[in-house]
Structure 1
């Protein structure tokens, strides 16, 4: 990856975004100018999450919605936000619903984009039949169900997914009772195989690799940006899996940030230590939320700080050659998951009317500085 850095960059970004934050309204998305996708380094995918079931089933290449046009023009990679989670793709024991995931893959093919698969093993958003059955599963029964799911889903999209979040959020947080450890209670599959959860995790990677040998296979979690107790636990888990021959190939930091907290300056160092294990790294679900006033609007200072945080995430990725992708968890506020979960908002890089925020400009400038010119990944005509 070709990178350029400057000791004055942080100050420059802060000054630039402070001015941009005062501009009202923000600039409307320009269909003729440079895009995040066109300015990205040749070996870095800039992606967005998208819910295919909601947004892409009606895709008509000749008459796309504004959302679809921007999704195709601005991003070289797509992550199904919900379409590949168990509750959506495997709603009944013998039923698979690929409609939403197929829509994402079809859109990506039509626009020359890559796809990140998300996710195969997670404690959340499981269908009721899994929750009910897990209470009585033996480890052998849980393994059979999980293996069938992994081989079926990964196999269906073999050759069409360049990275998979195979294992998602398998570590407890530091503030949970008992501290950082594997989620052997909340995760139904790890619970059934609590005598050897690491062995099961290793096998999930093996099943995924056998179903698609070309895909890069990641562990992924939140609060995993910097060097901390949680990432120490993941680092130890990665070492154990690799020593046992599991085809673990990457570590992803979700990067759901809030302006209520500081920015972890050790993110680059954290990425570097995983890279030293021979793993790829990625920013997989970036957004930067904030508490809003009674009028529902951010302050100029919040807007400027948000842009700095997005830039900080991007620079941590750009400064580590093993960083393969930088994905925002949706690009417009109208589709952001944040207001429905947190008492915060304004988390993405465009408004619900697709106005570019200073955070978008900070990412665009950071990508342009890293590699001037146009990436060959952008097919002709897609930037307009």
Structure 2
């Protein structure tokens, strides 16, 4: 009798343990399903702005790994290579191309069904000196320069045809001197205005489906806005196949004003061109063009006052962007998070900046929530 009771007790204990294990497993599975469902319902910038415009980000190959990769896939649906498609990087010598880094970004875009912008075909910086030099060491002729430019554009644009939907064809051709019109770069010095028109013609020939943009900084400042408008109209009048203008949007908590921003978008779109915000960040410091050293006693603390001004700036900028959703065809941030920004090195090397919507740990900042919490009816 005693053995029977012992056996029954043992069986009862086993049954209870089995039920307990099953309950725990079911609970774990249920919690995992809930967590998965919650994650699938999480929205990123691209989701909040679905129906408005694509939300892009400038990337380097290293951006496509770890936390940065996760954030890109969660928040963005468009990408721009920050540096690796610039002529000096992708075409360092006349008969040598370096495709590996650009190919990696293009493959990532295809794999994850993301839009991709190309940046930039013709620029006065980050351009190998070889393109301007003749075999005898002197300056190359206009005819040879245009032929070299065509070869470069044909090679690069054709390689990414079908992956890149828009190109910054010419970058920053306007002079920084308000008394001048075009920048006196080697391009202009050798080929005059023809280099501008030909760049767009060559890009269109290489990929007739790609959208072609002129891209520049300080494009909202009234005096430079007028000169950029003059260039865009010149290109249109000469029959250049230009589709849009890129406003670089390296802005700050100090400017631009809402009035200047709206007037710039109105001005450019009046030519029938698409407008894109191509390189958005909001610096904590006033605009400086020239590089300089960090001054003694100069702080790079992200103060509560700076944070609040940045929140207000981002709020205003995106309110304007939403108002122009029928004109704007893309908004792209320049870098992924405050963990790294080109503004950590320019114009002051080593002065930490915090210009983006995600902090150094890839977490949304208060400005992020201001940007995404809006009434979709307004």
Aligned residue for 2:3? none
Aligned residue for 1:122? 123
Residues 121-130 or 141-150, more deviating: 121-130
CA RMSD in angstroms comes to 2.3
| Separation of aligned partners in 1, 2:128 and 2:314 | 34
| Separation of aligned partners in 1, 2:138 and 2:356 | 39
Preserved contact between residue 283 and residue 354 of structure 2 (Cα < 8 Å): yes
Aligned residue for 1:50? 59
Deviation of 1:104 after TM superposition, in Å, equals 1.1
| Separation of aligned partners in 1, 2:369 and 2:123 | 34
Aligned residue for 1:314? 318
Deviation of 1:274 after TM superposition, in Å, equals 1.7
Preserved contact between residue 39 and residue 371 of structure 1 (Cα < 8 Å): no
Aligned residue for 2:303? 299
Deviation of 1:363 after TM superposition, in Å, equals 2.2
Per-residue CA deviation, residues 285-331 of structure 1 (Å, 9 max, x unaligned), is 00011149866421112112112222322233222211000001012
Instruction: Find 2:190's aligned residue among 164, 189, 192.
Output: 192
- Specify whether residues 224 and 97 from structure 1 end up closer, same or farther in structure 2 by C-alpha distance, changes over 3 A only: same
Deviation of 1:361 after TM superposition, in Å, equals 1.7
Preserved contact between residue 263 and residue 309 of structure 1 (Cα < 8 Å): no
Aligned residue for 1:68? 69
Preserved contact between residue 68 and residue 336 of structure 2 (Cα < 8 Å): no
| Separation of aligned partners in 2, 1:158 and 1:370 | 35
| Separation of aligned partners in 1, 2:140 and 2:343 | 34
Structure 1 runs not aligned, ≥5 long: 1-29, 57-63, 373-384
| Separation of aligned partners in 1, 2:376 and 2:328 | 13
Per-residue CA deviation, residues 168-209 of structure 1 (Å, 9 max, x unaligned), is 100012xx3x634111x23x2222113xx1x22111111111
Deviation of 1:353 after TM superposition, in Å, equals 1.1
Equivalence map 1:129-140=2 (5 Å):
129-130=130-131, 136-140=139-143
TM-score between the two structures when normalised by the length of structure 1? 0.79
SS at match of 2:339: helix
Preserved contact between residue 349 and residue 360 of structure 1 (Cα < 8 Å): yes
Q: Which has the higher contact order (CA 8 A, sep 6+)?
A: 1
Preserved contact between residue 225 and residue 264 of structure 1 (Cα < 8 Å): no
SS at match of 1:333: coil
| Separation of aligned partners in 2, 1:261 and 1:180 | 24
Q: Which has the larger radius of gyration?
A: 2
- Specify whether residues 135 and 271 from structure 1 end up closer, same or farther in structure 2 by C-alpha distance, changes over 3 A only: farther
